[in-house]
Amino acid sequence: MTAILTGGFADPAPQSAHAFRALLEAMARPGRIHTVLGAEPPAPLSVAAGVTLLTLTDATTPLHLAGAYDCADLRSWIAFHCGAPLVSAQEAQFALGAWEDLHPVTQFKIGDPAYPDRSATLIVEMPELTATGARLTGPGIAAEARLSLPETAAFQANRKLFPLGFDVILTCDKRLAALPRSTKVEAN
């Protein structure tokens, strides 16, 4: 029980502000990797994914847990620290898991023409996150960026749906990067 009560922000106001700023910067500058601190969530959740959940979810943001992330310790931690209701993939505003556990990604909301913002954001836990690999271009990227992605085909298909589509936050250890639906992805 004690583990569930710990691991949140020790000083919520400044820590959540710093985390929110890092997440905004990541979305505004796709492919740029940011380091975040402040959360100590239960395994298998990374610090970066924990910070993301603490910052972006609350009792009004439906969350889907996939694969190994749908476990009792994590469910209890989220209930205590965020209060996010846990839902099916089709109902989720946020979804958390390893890339392979989130498949098929077509099951997540992509918004609709009148409300493209009513789409899902996928929080993808990665085994590594580096500024190498797929070539990224588009809004927020001066020339190009590189980012280690789990694949390119799904992101290319998602880009073709723009302004609809899902957004992605990639997390690994204390690092995160974002891939908004507006980003053009090319294989290395």
pLDDT at position 188: 79
pLDDT at position 11: 85
SS (H, E, C) 109-168: CEEECCEEEEECEEEEECCCCCCCCEEEECCCCCCCEEECCCCCHHHHHHHHCCCCCCEE
pLDDT at position 52: 98
The CA radius of gyration of the chain, in Å to the nearest whole number, is 16
- Write the DSSP string, 6-62: SSS-SSHHHHHHHHHHHHHHHHHSTT--EE--S--PPTT--HHHHHHHHHH--TTS-
pLDDT at position 73: 94
Positive/negative CA dihedral, 87, 91, 97, 101: positive
pLDDT at position 3: 57
- The boundaries of the domain holding residue 119 are 2-186
Number of domains present in the structure of the chain: 1
Regions in the chain scoring below 70 on pLDDT: 1-5
pLDDT at position 145: 97
pLDDT digits (tens, 9 = 90+) for 27-53: 999 999 999 999 999 999 999 999 999
Site of tokens 């023409």: 113
pLDDT at position 33: 98
Residue 98: strand pairing partners: 125
Closest CA to 125 of 188, 62, 51: 51
User: CATH number, domain at 171?
Assistant: 3.40.50.11310
Rounded-to-integer distance, Cα 102 and Cα 123, Å: 9
